[in-house]
Structure 1
Amino acid sequence: MDISRHLGVLRRYALVLTRNSERAEDLVQEAALRALEGAHTWQDGNDLRKWLLAIVHNTHASRCRRKHTESAAEATIAAQTVRAQAPNQTDRVSLGETVAALMTLPEEQREVLMLVAVEGMSYRSAAECLGIPLGTLMSRLSRGRAALRAAADQDAPAPHLRLVR
């Protein structure tokens, strides 16, 4: 399968679709890559040019859909950002301190705090996600929360370890 002799046709068609020479060239390159990756689907005897033009067309349509979806998502995020009220300065400082304290915790505690406290996962789901027993998750969560409370309240005694036999 030699697609090189059809590149001129593909470039002209891509230029008509994109109305921009750089985007057209990118489109042809992506379509050529897809054609090479899907070469096993082309059957000898079929019109190679027609098959390649269909790939260019479908690649362009996919790009347009993706661009539309991304634009809609950006608009939604922008609308939500406008409606959101910025926290007051004390809340920002407190949040920054909490995040800084969270980042100083051991990874085991950070991950369980993130899954349970931030992402709202159930204890059981978080334990399954991490591949640890439920009791281990609850212990790590308890230690992590205690460390964050201690960091938030400098006057509070730091959590201490006790020996369990």
Structure 2
Amino acid sequence: MVGDQGPDFVALLPALLRYARSLTRDPLAAEDLVHDALVSALNHLASFDVNRSMRPWLFGIIHNQFISDVCREAVRQDYLGQLKHPSAASPVQDRREELRRVDLALAELPVPQREALHLVAVEALTYQQAADALGVPVGTVMSRVSRARRCLRQAQEQQEQPPAALRLVGKGQDR
């Protein structure tokens, strides 16, 4: 994704923003995270190996930027507080309530599991690409994704009416 004019960050922005939102759980914080990561990427562009894919490299920078962000726990706790006190849903809002439960189940996952699951299940990175982005062994990514999916299945089983969206990570769907 490095052309004659330099790297094509614009084409990767939607995926970078999705990943950042998955980590921060806050759209504004996600935009700030992506901005900071792209500034860092530009500052360290000389260290980029052109034989590698830029996408996992940028995911790795976002990951590292997020981990070093001292405010991440405050942002996460604030968001979880908002999820635990939702407004009452009307029958028309059943789908929203279902999505809220899925979002809550995902937000309850430990950060390492949530980020690994997001990279593999949402961004469709291979386990190796996700491992490179996170700076961990591929077995660690596989383990984190497996544990995250198990936690989501358990959350689904505890629901009176399991959300359909959680079924996407059901048995037999691990890669």
TM-score tier (shorter): 0.3 to 0.5
Q: Which has the larger radius of gyration?
A: 1
* TM-score scaled by length of structure 1: 0.38
* TM-score scaled by length of structure 2: 0.36
